[in-house]
């Protein structure tokens, strides 16, 4: 083996090691800021941040509180006592020039925040119901189901269930 071949082989090995190291850094959940595999299972108490809505009757916050409490989460009135903050947005997608297949859609996007960092998120998009209150009920149901399922999966990955 010549000197050039040896040097090329060493450089190739170094390049491969650097590439592997870079890939490890880019894998979600492996950063120094995030030493845990998951934190979602630790969230038991939630403060729901108010969402600006069109109607105050049957707001999303009321619907979320009902659905989350029925799944074992405790909704608190004081932000400082909560394990996490649930914040989100409610939007509508309306096609102005279309047929019945282009019916308005409701879009609910929420994140669960711990220390200002999102640890969970969900987006629910569906064909709008006859009333905004029905949209809120449906979205709250879907969001609560997903949070419960993801929390259970988080506990399993942490070896608790």
Helix, strand or coil, per DSSP, at residue 14: helix
Q: What pLDDT digit, counting tens, does each position of 18-45 carry?
A: 333 333 333 333 333 433 436 899 999 9
Q: Which residues contact 67 (CB under 8 A, 6 or more apart)?
A: 140, 141, 143, 144, 145
Model pTM score:
0.72
Q: What pairs with residue 122 in β-bridges?
A: 110
Cα 83 from chain centroid (whole Å): 15
Q: What pLDDT digit, counting tens, does each position of 110-158 carry?
A: 999 999 999 999 999 999 999 989 999 999 999 999 999 999 999 998 8
> What distance separates the 2 farthest-apart alpha carbons in the chain?
81
Count of other CB atoms within 10 angstroms of residue 100: 5
């Amino acid at each position: 083996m010549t000197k050039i071949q040896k040097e090329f082989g060493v450089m190739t090995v170094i390049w491969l090691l650097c590439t592997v190291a870079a890939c490890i850094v880019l894998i979600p959940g492996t950063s120094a800021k995030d030493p845990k595999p998951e934190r979602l299972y630790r969230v038991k108490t939630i403060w729901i941040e108010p969402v600006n809505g069109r109607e105050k009757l049957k707001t999303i916050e009321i619907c979320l509180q009902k659905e989350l409490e029925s799944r074992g989460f405790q909704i608190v009135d004081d932000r400082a006592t909560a394990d996490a903050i649930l914040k989100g947005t409610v939007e509508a997608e309306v096609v102005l020039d279309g047929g019945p297949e282009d019916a308005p859609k409701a879009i609910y996007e929420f994140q669960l925040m711990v220390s200002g960092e999102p640890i969970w998120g969900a987006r629910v998009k569906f064909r709008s119901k006859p009333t905004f209150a029905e949209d809120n009920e449906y979205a709250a149901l879907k969001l609560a189901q997903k949070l419960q399922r993801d929390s259970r999966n988080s506990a399993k990955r942490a070896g608790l269930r």
